[in-house]
A and B are shown apart, each in its own frame.
Chain A
Amino acid sequence: MTLTEIFDRFAPDCSSVPQSVFGDAAVLDAELTRIFTKTWLFVAHESEVAEAGDYVTRRMGRDQVIVARGEDGQVRVMRNACTHRGTLLCKATLGNTSHFMCPYHAWTFDNSGRLRGVPEARPSYGGFDKPSRDLRRARTEVYQGLVFATWAEDGPSLAESLGDIAWYLDALLGTATGGWEVAGPPQRYTIKANWKLSCENFGGDGYHLPYTHRVPIESGLFGEDEEGGEVGKPTGRVVWTPQGHTARVGYLPPEYAEPPYPGYPENLRDDLAANAGPETLSVLANSDVVHGNVFPNLSFIQTAITYTGDEAEPVSFTVLRLAQPVTPDTTELYNFALVPRGADEEWKQKSVVACVRTHGAAAVLFEGDDVDNFTCVSVTADGALAHDTDLDYSLGTNLPRPEPDDWAGPGESVPHDHSEYTHRAFYGTWLRYMKDTKEGA
């Protein structure tokens, strides 16, 4: 099946999606070129490269990059490949250095990507035009501590590209005095599933919660059934933007009347609320979880878990989830736990534990069941029948949208927790990039 035939199978509103998007090698090849070289991609948190010379090695799609803070204090993202023969320059995961020397012929680049040294430049090359062989740099911008990069030399700025999802990132990461930092180097692991499955799930799949996560929810992990099931049901609001970014804000039953930012120590909670605007406070009131996906592959969740075996009271955690494609059915996942810089060390560790036990790489309570599902979706995308199978993403298309809608959050949104509006927005944007074959990057 050609790519065009695959694209033509989509329903115009993406309420049906061909199963080939999860298993076809040509689809991934096109994604890597048409999406992963064109869009702004998350590469690191600023706090991972806090000092001049700090670096981490990452990928943008399947392209290897170095994220480094130069001696001038600026964070840059450059291709981790020597401009001589393409050798991987830096094999370490993280470190601090002023220069990267190629192990093959010792071409040496400074941490801003400039070529500084070529052995035998005069006797063997007869002189050398160094600037023409600097490392290829990606455009780099930082938003709320999140470092993004793109190979697109022109096109929208990061702020333009984030659009209304920026407001939700502000609500989660913009109100702590002193900002946020990574708790430590991210968890990394591979799953046997297509990268989009993690993104569309994190993006707003409220429907799976009571079914996939029936055990932890019934055992009161979120405290929702603590009054013997007599309280109302949790609700939610799904949000999407024209750029394909999505979010879901989950709400406790109304009886809880929980103020914004649950699961923090009192002083921290007061600080988070004091720096939030009235619209943010109104959207977060009685909310116990906000999660979403920044197109294409940066997911996020902030929630307060009540109990994983030890806790006396709910502990909030925030995790960024990056889904890097490797093959159609292999994805490398990164989990970055973020903590407010101003929190004390003891609370930071509690937050890490709540994250690790529920949404970490080896977490059985939530993550294990999700990964099991993603794998089970990908494994059936491998058969011949997948080529003429379309999957159902129509949930909620027939539900009425409230008029007027006084919800304060920006972007398109509906109060239909169990719907697939966010999935359709993700695939709508996906299709737009995939059909655009003009050369970029």
Chain B
Amino acid sequence: MTLTEAIGQFLYEESAALDEARYSDWLALLADDFRYEVPQPITPQSPDEEQYSSRMPISRESKGSLRMRFDRVSSEYAWSDRPRHFLRHFVSNIRVRPLGPDEWEVRSNVLVARSRSSEESTLATAGRVDVLRGDPERGFLLAARTVHLDVEVPSAGQLIPVY
């Protein structure tokens, strides 16, 4: 298995843990200093200008805050998480670049489908920039993820999943 294939397998398993609501499995794949960020998409005048702003991001989470988020799902009063959503990640276009001896920048594209009850499905596409630590023998940990949504004004349904 090549490095890119091994990283691809890691990303597929990682997404499956979210889709299948195995939250403790998913949290176990995160480095303790994990940072998750979804910058705010904006439409500047010139095509040369930055399309995302991190000054007031849509999400800025840590392993601690994500643990809080998923711990609450087991409460009967986690209204927005109960009943459970249908969720499916599709991961593609994986590109790997070394950052250090055991650290990799991994870019990928995702399509994420979500629905609940009789709601229409919300689809969203995004580009992801991840930092992975580890190697194919010992396995990997996810150390950072930045999500570039392909829509300036997402629907609330598109903002529910972790990408």
Contacts and interface: CB of A to CB of B under 8 A. Distances in A.
B62 A371 contact: no
A211 B75 CA distance: 13
Interface string B16-49: 0000000000000000000000101011111000
Interface string A329-354: 00010011100000000000000110
A365 interface: yes
B75 A190 contact: no
A188 B159 CA distance: 11
Given A189-B159, A309-B65, A94 B42 contact: yes
A369 interface: yes
A251 B58 CA distance: 29
B18 to A, nearest CB: 14
Given A215-B72, A309-B66, A357-B65, A182 B159 contact: no
Interface string A204-216: 0000000110111
A356 B56 contact: yes
Contacts of A183: 55-56
A215 B43 contact: no
A361 B81 contact: no
Given A308-B65, A368-B160, A185 B153 contact: no
Interface residues of B, number: 40
A352 B56 contact: yes
Contact of A362 (B43, B53, B58): B58
A302 B43 CA distance: 29
Given A214-B77, A365-B69, A368-B160, A92 B44 contact: yes
Contacts of A375: 156
B58 A356 contact: yes
Contact of B56 (A187, A211, A362): A187
A188 B57 contact: no
A332 B152 CA distance: 12
B159 A362 contact: yes
Contacts of A122: none
Contact of B43 (A91, A211, A372): A91
A372 B79 contact: yes
A182 B44 contact: no
Prevailing SS type, chain B contact patch: mixed
Contacts of B79: 212, 368-369, 372-373
B1 interface: no
A417 to B, nearest CB: 20
A435 B79 CA distance: 37
A356 B37 CA distance: 11
A277 B94 CA distance: 59
Nearest to A376: B79
Which of A96, A336, A356 has most chain B Cβ within 10 Å? A356
Contacts of A405: none
Contacts of A215: 72, 75, 77-78
Chain A contact residues (Cβ within 8 angstroms of B): what range?
35 or more
Given A357-B61, A357-B65, A182 B56 contact: yes
B65 to A, nearest CB: 3
Interface in A387-415: none
Given A187-B58, A372-B79, A309 B68 contact: yes
Interface in B66-84: 66-69, 72, 75, 77-81
Contact of A185 (B45, B55, B80): B55
Contact of A191 (B58, B72, B155): B155
Given A310-B64, A372-B80, A190 B53 contact: no
Contact of A93 (B56, B152, B155): B152
Contacts of B59: 356, 360, 362
A425 to B, nearest CB: 27
B139 interface: no
A425 B45 CA distance: 42
B154 interface: yes
B95 interface: no
Contacts of A362: 38, 58-59, 159-160
Interface of B: 38, 40, 42-46, 53-69, 72, 75, 77-81, 152-160
9 contacts: A184-B53, A187-B40, A189-B153, A189-B154, A190-B154, A214-B75, A216-B72, A371-B156, A372-B79
Given A212-B79, A309-B61, A371-B80, 12 more contacts: A187-B58, A189-B154, A190-B155, A214-B75, A214-B77, A332-B153, A356-B56, A356-B57, A356-B60, A360-B59, A361-B154, A362-B38
